[in-house]
Amino acid sequence: MPELPDVEYFRKYLNSTSLHKKIIGVEVKNSKIIGRVSPAALKKHLNGSKLKITKRHGKNLFAGLSNKKWLTMHFGMTGYLKYYKNKEDVPGHVRLLINFDNGYHLAYDCMRMLGRIDLVDDLSGYIKMKKLGIDPIEDKLSFKEFSELFNNRNGSIKTGLMNQSILAGIGNIYADEILFQADIQPGSNIKKLNEDDLKKIYQKMNSVFKKAISVNADHEELPGNYLLTHRKPGEDCPKCSGKIKKQTIGGRSSYFCNKHQKKK
DNA sequence: AATATTGTTCAGCA
DNA sequence: GTGCTGAACAATAT
């Protein structure tokens, strides 16, 4: 699930549950999800410290520690956070567990283990090292800047939107949603899009993310004319009388309406 | 039982 | 060096 709106929700979740509490224990359940830092060093720096502040860049969540280090979290395809107290609330695939002095626990759960947690000194260095592009929401991207990102680019617009080194935060689901709302087929070539097409994509990117963030990325709460809850081949298009088609673009399943979404 | 899955990285190539 | 494509990674659900 974790694309930009989901991670923004995780950030708020962390803010409302886990800040300013003393960490009294850290359990690395599976070291595969730990990045460059060693599990021992991670434990050493977390223990006795507190989470003070949160930031997000694209699909990455950062928590600033009272000892000046930053905890970085990426959620892969199946990661999420769970703050709980009672044993019966332990999620099924905990990879990292942080214990607070109030008896509560913060679990990083990641079934498929494609997510990563790390500890760094310098956030901008981390973002550079990961080659992350601009965060369209956090960095308040203008249309001019957006449009310039796609100058002299090749490939499909969907692949471009999902390229994290161009824009950080758009994944498969929201790329489909933005293009569905912008009435442009995901397989359209970037070079064939005109200024108006790009403007529409820019505007829909902002409105879709704003809406998704406002409902904490809960799909059930999204408007009825969103593709998200109709992402199945043969399903009726929620915007027109067309049917939803499925096609592989850039190696990923893409869903779109071939009636109101124009192929360029 | 084969197939699909919301993400990133890296090899291969132009 | 840069940019693009597709496979690999892993564990589960249908």
Q: Percent of chain A having pLDDT more than 90? A: 84
Residue A190's CB is within 10 A of a number of other CB atoms, namely: 20
* Cα distance between residue A185 and residue A158, in whole Å: 8
End-to-end alpha carbon distance in chain A: 29
Q: Is the CB of A215 under 7 A from strand B?
A: no
Q: What amino acid is encoded at A23 in this protein?
A: I
pLDDT digits (tens, 9 = 90+) for A67-95: 999 999 999 989 999 999 998 889 989 99
In which band, very low, low, confident or very high, does the pLDDT at A216 lie, cut at 50, 70 and 90?
very high
Burial classification of residue A20, based on how many CB atoms lie within 10 Å of its CB (0-12 exposed, 13-18 middle, 19 or more buried) = exposed
The pLDDT assigned to A233 comes to 86
Residue A54's CB is within 10 A of a number of other CB atoms, namely: 19
Q: Is the CB of A3 under 7 A from strand B?
A: yes
pLDDT digits (tens, 9 = 90+) for A35-64: 989 999 999 999 999 999 999 999 999 999
Q: Is the CB of A136 under 7 A from strand B?
A: no
Residue A171 sits at φ, ψ, to 5 deg, of -115, -170
Instruction: Judge whether residue A1 has pLDDT over 70.
Output: no
Range A4-129 has CATH code 3.20.190.10: yes
The pLDDT assigned to A67 comes to 93
- Distance from residue A171's CA to nucleotide C9's C1', rounded to whole Å: 18
User: Cα–Cα–Cα angle for A182, A157, A161, nearest 5°?
Assistant: 85
Token look-up 């703050």 returns A83
**Domain map of chain A by residue range?**
4-129, 143-257
Q: Is the CB of A114 under 7 A from strand C?
A: yes
CATH fold match for the domains A4-129 and A143-257 = no
Token look-up 């929201």 returns A174
- Distance from residue A253's CA to nucleotide C6's C1', rounded to whole Å: 14
The pLDDT assigned to A112 comes to 86
* Cα distance between residue A70 and residue A65, in whole Å: 6
Domain A143-257: give its CATH code. 1.10.8.50
pTM confidence score: 0.95
pLDDT digits (tens, 9 = 90+) for A162-195: 999 999 999 999 999 999 999 999 999 999 999 9
In chain A, which residues from 24 to 83 place their CB closer than 7 Å to nucleic acid strand C? 32, 77
